[in-house]
Amino acid sequence: MRYSGFRVIAEALTGHKGWKPVWRDPDPKPDYDYIIIGGGGHGLATAYYLAKEFGQARIAVLEKGYLGGGNVGRNTTIIRSNYLLDGNEPFYEFSLKLWEGLEQDFNYNAMVSQRGIINLIHTDAQRDAATRRGNAMILHGADARLLSRDEVRQMYPWLNFDNARFPIKGALMQPRGGTVRHDAVAWGYARGADSRGVDLIQNCEVTGMRIENGRIKGVETTRGYIGAKKVGVAVAGSSSKVMAHAGMRLPIESHVLQAFVSEGLKPLIDGVMTFGAGHFYVSQSDKGGLVFGGDIDGYNSYAQRGNLPVIEDVAEGGMALMPAIGRVRLLRTWGGIMDMSMDGSPIIDKTHIEGLYFNGGWCYGGFKATPASGWCFAHLLAKDESHITARAYRFDRFLKGLMIDEKGQGATPNLH
Amino acid sequence: MVSLQPLTALGRREATTVTQGPLSITERSDVALASVAVRKGRGTDLAKAAEKADIPLPGPATHQPGTPYSAFWITPEMWFVEAPYASHELIADLLKHALGDAASITEQTDAWVAFDLTAPDLAPLLERLCNVDYAAQPEGYATRTVMDHLGVYLIKHGRGSARIYGPRSSAESLLHAIETAAHSVW
Amino acid sequence: MTQSHRIDAKLGGGQIDRTKTLRFTFDGLPYQGHPGDTLASALLANGVRLMGRSFKYHRPRGPLSAGSEEPNALVELRTGARQEPNTRATVVELFDGLTANSQNRWPSLRFDAMGINDKLSAFFAAGFYYKTFMWPKSFWEKLYEPIIRRAAGLGSVTREEDPDEYDKGFLHCDLLVIGAGPAGLMAALTAGRAGKRVILADEDFRMGGRLNAETYAVGDVPGADWAAASVAELATMPNVRLMTRTTVMGAFDHGIYGAVERVADHLPTPAKGKPRQSLWRIYSGRAILAAGATERPIAFENNDRPGILLAGALRAYANRWGVKVGERVAIFTNNDDGLRSALDLQAKGVDVVAVIDSRQGGSLLPGIRHLQGAEVIDTSGKLGLASIAVRQANGRSENIAIDALGVSGGWNPNVNIHSHHRSRPVYDPGIAAFIPGSDGPPGLLVAGAAAGQMSTHAALKTGRDAAVAALELSRSPDLPEAEDMPIRITPLWHVAHGKGRAWIDQQNDVTVKDVKLAHQENFTSVEHLKRYTTLGMATDQGKTGNVIGLAVMAELTGRSIPETGTTIYRPPYTPVALGALAGRSRGREFRPFRLTPSHHWAREQGAVFVEVGNWLRTQWIPKPGETEWRQSVDREVLATRKSVGICDVTTLGKIDIQGTDAGAFLDRVYANTFSTLPVGKCRYGLMLREDGIVFDDGTTARMGEHEYVMTTTTANAVTVFRHLEFCRQCLWPEMDVQLISTTEAWAQFSVAGPNARKLLEKIVDQDISDAAFPYMGAGNITVCGGLRARLFRISFSGELAYEIAVPTRYGDALLREMLARGAEYDPVVYGTEALGVMRVEKGHVAGGELNGQSTALNMGLGRMVSKKKDSIGMVLSQREGLTDENGYRLVGVKPVDPNGKLTAGSHFLEKGAAPVAANDGGWLTSKVYSPHLGHDIALGYLKAGDKKIGQRMRIVNLLSGLDTEVEIVSPHMFDPEGERLRG
Amino acid sequence: MIIHHPILGPRDAQEFVYLGDASLIDRPDGMTAGVEAFHDYLYQRTNPAGEHQELWYHEQGDRSWLVVTRNTVTHEITKVELAREVARARGRTK
């Protein structure tokens, strides 16, 4: 069924009796052409684009819990394409362009809101780096502006301009950056995939892979064996667990990233802002909560919860930047498991097992990548070759010394 | 002989004392300090030489007082040795002389700012500054800990007497943190 | 009309001090209350029921509860910079002069224009916004979203800096007891009497928990008196710390709990120097959760009007605060506790006109109209409850005029903290509620109502037993006598009736209809239910609503409640002020300062400082008449190159490396060789990461056979030391190497320029002629008549230069002495800007080039990586991606037109090339103005740059429109032969 | 979290800096091993959901590197050793 304002009014007048389930709950079939493991944002987007853009059918998405229950449902909702390196920027810009047409494409209001993102600058060295980055963005067809201290002050006069330990000296802005209602992304893709015949199978955990003569045959699940011609894995923080079924070790560690929301407030912050002298970034949701975060906890974890030091560190950053929020209250904290890769950039690649494909290593940047990740993974699955914007996301880049290390931290996942 | 006028870590000519309620904070610029580390396989040699020279080398998390040398444990096979600055300004040379090549010795005197804290009970102050269960520790407890984002050494001389060694360049920030915490308590 | 609803003191005074009167205002109107009141109890005492508006429909609301679970009575407390949005009136301790205002309404609380949303509620069903506002595309940011954002939100936040201070600390104990009701008090008494270190924390300003709101006895005294006596006994124990106004907000790993103490929220302003709140990190051996239980309502149509409260809250207001919420009151209950509320109210002289009991059978309450098998099906009243419609067992409906209704749907154990490690609570049909599951935080026991042990006796017993078990005590004290009533409840979650709305989550306006719609659209997982309807996502985090929501979903799906599942709670237990979490790390105190030895001198000179990590370094020192920074920097550079300049370089990391394997160790950690370095000499060292990328660089000197002094960059001093310890302990544990940082032990100055030696000769006691102290010499010396010092003949500026170090306490004096004794050479003190100019002129790499992404080859230092020995990074530096012949190379850049401008971060393009990524040649890493050359110069990484020396390209900054034609030159732009530094 | 230091007893994890899998002790010899061996050593991780041996550095303490055996699902720590001793036991020398 098609959603629209007229439909909402018509249903309101008739007691909302006409709304249909947004997706079915099918039982798994004995086999599929494509199995996507992981019913999060990336997996659902992959299935959606496989069906819609690449004309594929007989597709199933296997989700161990509920749809959208992974990082797509527990992030800070930011979208942007302000990357530096050639391996990354075209991909994230492709993603941003997909975001810009997404709601009309899948007929679901995910509240894609391009209210701008600013990365604050506190030193001359940061300004130099921002200049390099802003130029790289424009060279790749994205948008960027370098703001002076006064321009930042005009936007947010109540930031700490007068008594700061690390004074604000300007900002790199991407006007097209913004936020998206995260759950709605999962639901929109799920609805779009379901309506195109994709079987979305919840509470179905993959417990093994059947591999014969170097070729994948199917997967063992808590709901029985399911055969498949091709299997794509898009399970973020669970990447190492799932790929271990294929005997693979990955250049990935799983880490917990906490995120935070305050009580609802009348509008304070219009766009997205990152503090350049500490671990803090913030936006305000349409509902009024300040949504913010900081650094990962820093140790391998699958626990979906974090510890107090990071909460304090983030609050310190927030107070350093915005001295007015001392009496604003933290309402809720949560944690997601990040698939932190060895250079901070993702992998969308075939494996040495025929028919088994991998998508992961998103670190804490996976949400903004959702549309392009789905598109590029679908491209790889359908055509057996990388999408033009995802060609650098290969497994063998570490062997060949072709790392895509935005932060320059080397093989230390918890520093990316 | 030397024509240069030293400054204390707080940038003053003379070390001074600050008080806040019952607490006094005294900067100590009269302590000479050096690290002593065992050369590999020379533990016995070092122990013998140290004993002969009356240089204590206490066990983990412990400060051992003495005259002129006191010492506290830093890390396995390494100590900080204290002595009066007036008599032992060249503490590294003196220790090298006493301990020979059984140890690696490095002058540390001016790497640190030393504050002596006194109050009837320091626990209420220190619980706001660092994650040390001060009340539960014995006298002579020496540990590294964090105060105001700074790595410091804390030595418990008694319920109401302690010394803090903090990074010298942050002496002012550390003093400010102690004073502010003291305002909360007293 | 003051305190019209205060119960006569003769019927029981409650725990307020009626001898003192406190004045306060709400929405500008003056009221009075007493010490011991909350804002809510005081307003109710004054007959004020309307205190807020709901989030979505702007429905008029009064308090639902008498505690921290409150969803409705949210106010903006205080004014100006201390304005505090979304503050629960039910927990605000009244103080004289308190000011509160209602929020999320316009123009007034009584008439709220946004109340129109309530009339249009049919259009605002759960998730309606996902289905519309998509066309035209550009309208979302421009029209729809701004309207939604303005309408949304609750309270408003000030833009002013919070004037109050916050503190933090660490506490340690054998046992942390969370909650000081009967279970918590008994646990604390048991452990305290056994001599254990106990912390007892309670969110209330008065310990006793539910005992303060009840009338029954513990032992032979009223419960509240027993609580007070117990607190008094605990207060005498030196091993027990009592913490009132302290909310344990979260359970973290390994027995660590976060707690927020509201030190001064009950005062108009904190005392001078004292914090408003303190965050305590409590390190506990064991902990007992004795957080009690929270009553939940029943969903029925229009169950959200002011005057409709939880039955236990009505009872609490009467017993503890001496307040009758209404003159004519009814109770709607599905369990025996509701009956207790009716009896207590009656005892306080309140007219209880009916008890509507959804259950059949059992004995009838004496002296009260007790309707069994009956349900409340609707209510009326515009800004407050006026009457209820009751459907009796025989199906007949009746309207009853009342002004307060107490609702009891049963009690939910406060399992929150037990589920902070993602333990799922389990459903206990006996009490129709969730109790703690089995896999909670290790070391955390649960006692009392939090464990589903609802009677007072059970609370006392489980509190005692938990303490005995947690601490393995040998003695178990006797318990006082207390009531031990069984729980009698027949679950009723919502009243099935007509088409009206029945609220589940009152703040977020989630109704039974919304749950039905979610079910209809297949959002049936509890997580989907929560996310789609926003159930439980308001400031109360669903403390009263969640269980009802999932019970309704269970009914709709035909599954049991356990099959339907439950969402878990996450920290914090109740919302926590961000100021408390940040503590003192704010403003200028966000991070400590590191000051250089020359800081005081530089401040006297009016120096401009720059933050370098936590260091403050001198950036430049303006002289009188210099109005622009470039004038100062140019002067500092020219004076240095002309005669001599001095720069404080103390911030560079210094590491003492000793031991018989020190040389061999350095060979492993540096790409080049150090074991062959003669004593008394130093060498430039290049350190790689294991992935072959350059990690750090610096000069390392051999001071003795087994003694080296390493220098690191300022930025990497800590990480290099950590890395060396890793190499020493984890990779080569048998090496004889000892490490110690000496960064702060030595004040170190660079003395550079043609007259550097002449100046130093006036300071240094020894011969430092070129022959005695040649280029790259290093040694221990004395200065000024015998002060121990170190001298290194190294140069970053390209000049004849030394670095001289003295014990830090003499740094200030050494600088002054050098300036005084060397006055004839007009020495200049230069800052980091001039330092940067000179190093760029010389092509030395620094921060912009050492970016963690570059190899030795990129920097033109490829040959330094020795392959004759194993060193960190040697092998992986040989990967094809890092040895690309056409990869980035460090080049110098100068504008073809000397007036042409350069900007660091600009990119290289060939002449005529379009500004697209395919043509991107690289970027400028560092740019300065060279006063010697008279134009901008820069360093940059250029693809195949080593092959492009002499070519012309463009430097483009697309952010500013800059487009400058440049010549690619060698990075060594000044004195390329190095004649000056050997002079 | 709290790490039970083999010498100093319980210490707050905040005092430590985390590195990663304790297999980082097993560095190949650069004079004999090639790029593939170093690639496996530096980049490939088992990343288990469960028991994990990992390196922590007591930076704000005694500067010991520790090998901590910790469950990555529950965060329970079952063993803490000095990394130097672990390295020696694994046969690492000079």
> Domain A5-81+83-108+182-251+343-415 falls in which CATH fold?
FAD/NAD(P)-binding domain (3.50.50)
Whether residue C743 lies within 8 A of chain B, CB to CB, comes out as yes
Of C421, C664, C729, the CB nearest to D87: C729
Residues in D whose CB is inside 8 Å of some CB of C read 1-2, 12, 17, 19, 24-25, 27-31, 33-35, 38-39, 42, 55, 57, 59, 63-65, 74-77, 82-85, 87-88, 92-94
Which tokens belong to C721?
Answer: 């030391």
Instruction: Write down the pLDDT at residue C141.
Output: 86
Q: Do D44 and A302 touch (CB under 8 A)?
A: no
CA terminus-to-terminus distance, chain A: 43
What span, in angstroms and rounded, lies between the C-alpha atoms of C200 and C567? 28
Mean of the pLDDT values across residues B24-41?
Answer: 98
pLDDT at residue B2 greater than cutoff 80: no
* End-to-end CA, chain B: 45
Helix intervals (H) in A324-365: none
Residue A385 burial (C-beta neighbours within 10 Å; 0-12, 13-18, 19+): exposed
Asked if residues A53 and A192 have their Cβ atoms less than 8 Å apart, the reply is no
Burial class (CB in 10 A: 0-12, 13-18, 19+), C500: middle
D64:B61 CB<8 A: no
Tokens of C758: 């002449």
- Can you read off the two tokens belonging to residue D30? 């650069």
Any D CB within 8 A of A66 CB: no
d(CA A405, CA A408): 5
Residues of C in contact with B148 (CB under 8 A): 584, 589, 592
Q: Where are the alpha helices (DSSP H) in B36-119?
A: 43-52, 85-88, 91-99
CA distance D84 to chain C (A): 5
**C525 touching B (Cβ < 8 Å):** no
Say if residues A302 and D73 touch (Cβ distance below 8 Å).
Answer: yes
Using the 8-state DSSP alphabet, how is residue C178 labeled? E
Question: In C266-370, where does DSSP find H-type helix?
Answer: 311-321, 336-347
Short-list C808, C838, C836, C863, CA closest to C926: C836
Residue C39 CA to residue C17 CA, distance in Å, equals: 15
Contacts of C807 in chain B (CB under 8 A): 6, 107, 109-110
Identify the DSSP state of C507: T
Q: Tell me the nearest-neighbour CA distance from C734 into chain D, angstroms.
A: 5
Chain D window 38-67: which residues touch A at a Cβ cutoff of 8 Å?
A: 39, 42-49, 52, 54
Give the side-chain half-sphere CA count within 13 A for D94.
Answer: 13
| Band of pLDDT at residue B3, cut at 50, 70 and 90 | confident
Q: Which of chain A's residues have a Cβ under 8 Å away from the Cβ of C633?
A: none
**Tens digit of pLDDT for each residue in D70-94?**
999 999 999 999 999 999 999 999 8
Domains, in order of start, for chain C: 9-124 (3.10.20.440), 164-294+411-487 (3.50.50.60), 297-409 (3.50.50.60), 498-580 (1.10.10.1100), 885-983 (2.40.30.110)
The full set of domain ranges for chain B reads 17-29+111-185, 31-109
Whole-angstrom distance, CA of residue C326 vs CA of residue C658: 82
Tell the CATH superfamily of the B17-29+111-185 domain. Answer: Probable tRNA modification gtpase trme; domain 1 (3.30.1360.120)
List CB contacts (< 8 A) between D90 and chain C.
none
pLDDT at position C138: 84
Looking at 3.30.9.10, 3.30.70.3270, 3.30.365.10, 3.40.50.970, the CATH number of the domain A117-176+254-341 comes to 3.30.9.10
pLDDT, tens digit, 9 for 90 and up, residues A131-168: 999 999 999 999 999 999 999 999 999 999 999 999 99
Please state, in angstroms and rounded to a whole number, the distance separating the CA atoms of residues C715 and C79: 44
C129–A109 CB contact, under 8 Å: yes
Q: What are the angstrom distances between the C-alpha of B156 and each of B77, B142, C44, C728?
A: 21, 6, 54, 31
Q: Taking a C-beta distance cutoff of 8 angstroms, is the pair A386, A362 a contact?
A: no
Reported residue count of chain D is 94
Round to whole Å and give the CA distance between B23 and C533: 56
**pLDDT computed for residue C751 by the predictor:** 98
Rg (CA), chain D: 14
Per the structure block, which two tokens stand in for C94?
């009244």
CATH 3.30.2270.10 fits domain D2-89: yes
Q: Average pLDDT, stretch A20-42?
A: 97
Amino acid at site A408: G
Query: A174: which strand partners?
Result: A117
Question: In C, which residues are within 8 Å of B170 by CB distance?
Answer: 592-595, 614
Chain A residue closest to D50 (CA)?
A302
Task: Kindly state whether A352 is in contact with chain D, defined as any CB-CB distance less than 8 angstroms.
Answer: no
Q: Which of A245, A295, A301, A414 to mutate to test the interface with D (most CBs of D within 10 A)?
A: A301
pLDDT digits (tens, 9 = 90+) for D42-70: 999 999 999 999 999 999 999 999 999 99
Q: CA–CA separation, A345 vs A392, rounded Å?
A: 9
Report strand pairing: C277-289 vs C166-178. parallel
Number of neighbours of residue C867 by Cβ within 10 angstroms: 13
Q: At what angle do helices A182-195 and A89-106 cross, to 10 degrees?
A: 70
Task: State what percent of residues in chain D have pLDDT above 90.
Answer: 99
Cβ neighbours of D12 in B, within 8 Å: 131
Selection from C582, C711, C585 nearest residue C652 by Cα: C711
Closest chain A residue to C916, measured at CA: A139
Give Cα separations from D76 to A113, C213, C283, C422, D2 (angstroms). Answer: 42, 40, 16, 14, 10
Chain-chain contact of C732 with D84 (C-beta, under 8 angstroms)? no
Task: Give contacts of B90 with chain C, Cβ < 8 Å.
Answer: 788
**CA-CA distances (angstroms) from residue A396 to A243, A348, A388, A402, C886?**
16, 11, 17, 8, 21
Longest dimension (CA), chain C: 116
- Write out C734-766 in H/E/C secondary structure: CCCCEEEECCCCEEEEEEECCCHHHHHHCCECC
Compute the distance between CA of residue C81 and CA of residue C682 in angstroms, rounded to an integer: 58
The three-class DSSP label of residue C612 is strand
Strands across the sheet containing A281-284: A145-148, A170-174, A117-121, A272-274, A281-284, A289-300, A252-264, A329-341, C576-577
**Domain B31-109 fold:** Alpha-Beta Plaits (3.30.70)
pLDDT at B151 over 90: yes
CA distances from C155 to A269, A322, A393 (A): 14, 18, 46
Identify which of A140, A311, A312 has the shortest CB distance to residue C917: A140
CB A155 within 8 A of CB A173: no
User: How, if at all, do strands C277-289 and B161-167 pair?
Assistant: unpaired
Q: Give the pLDDT band of residue B1 (cuts 50, 70, 90).
A: low
Contact at 8 Å (CB) between A290 and A272? no
Give the residue from B155, B149, B154 showing the smallest Cα distance to B177: B149
Segment (H or E) for C405: strand C404-408
Average pLDDT over residues A119-134: 97
Q: Are β-strands C256-261 and C277-289 bridged in parallel, bridged antiparallel, or unpaired?
A: antiparallel
How high is the pLDDT of residue C343?
A: 96
Every domain range in chain A assigned CATH 3.50.50.60: 5-81+83-108+182-251+343-415
- Residues of chain B neighbouring D61 (CB-CB closer than 8 A): 143-144
E-strand stretches of C568-640: 576-577, 594-595, 608-612, 615-620
Question: What is the tens place of the pLDDT at every residue in B106-141?
Answer: 999 999 999 999 999 999 999 999 999 999 999 999
Cβ count within 10 A of residue B68: 15
| Closest residue, chain D, to B132 (C-alpha) | D11
Q: Is A104 exposed, middle or buried (0-12, 13-18, 19+ CB in 10 A)?
A: middle
Report residue C486 CA to chain centroid gap.
Answer: 43
Q: How far is D7 from chain C (nearest CA, A)?
A: 15
Q: Quick: pLDDT tens for A336-356.
A: 999 999 999 999 999 999 999
- pTM for the model: 0.97
What mean pLDDT is predicted for residues A111-125? 97
Summarize chain D as % helix, strand, coil (round to 5): 25, 35, 40
* B77, C713 contact by CB (below 8 A): no
Distance from CA of D81 to the nearest CA of C (A): 12
CA A264/CA C89 separation, integer angstroms: 17
Rounded-to-integer distance, Cα C95 and Cα C561, Å: 44
Q: What residue ranges of chain C have pLDDT lower than 50?
A: 1
Reading the block at residue C236, the tokens are 């005498």
Place of tokens 């005197």: B109
Q: What is the 3-state secondary structure (H, E, C) of C1-59?
A: CCCCCECCHHHCCCCCCCCCCEEEEECCEEEEECCCCEHHHHHHHCCCCCCEECCCCCC
Q: Is it true that the peptide bond before C572 is cis, omega within 30 degrees of 0?
A: yes
Contact A315 C123 (CB under 8 A): no
C872 touches chain A (CB under 8 A): no
**Which residues of chain D make contact with C718, given a CB cutoff of 8 A?**
59
User: Cβ B39–C814 below 8 Å, yes or no?
Assistant: no
Q: Which of C121, C51, C534, C3 is nearest to C305 (CA)?
A: C51
CB contact under 8 A, C135 and A263: no
Q: Is C732 an 8 Å CB contact of chain B?
A: no
Q: For residue C172, give the nearest of B6, B133, B167 by CB distance.
A: B133
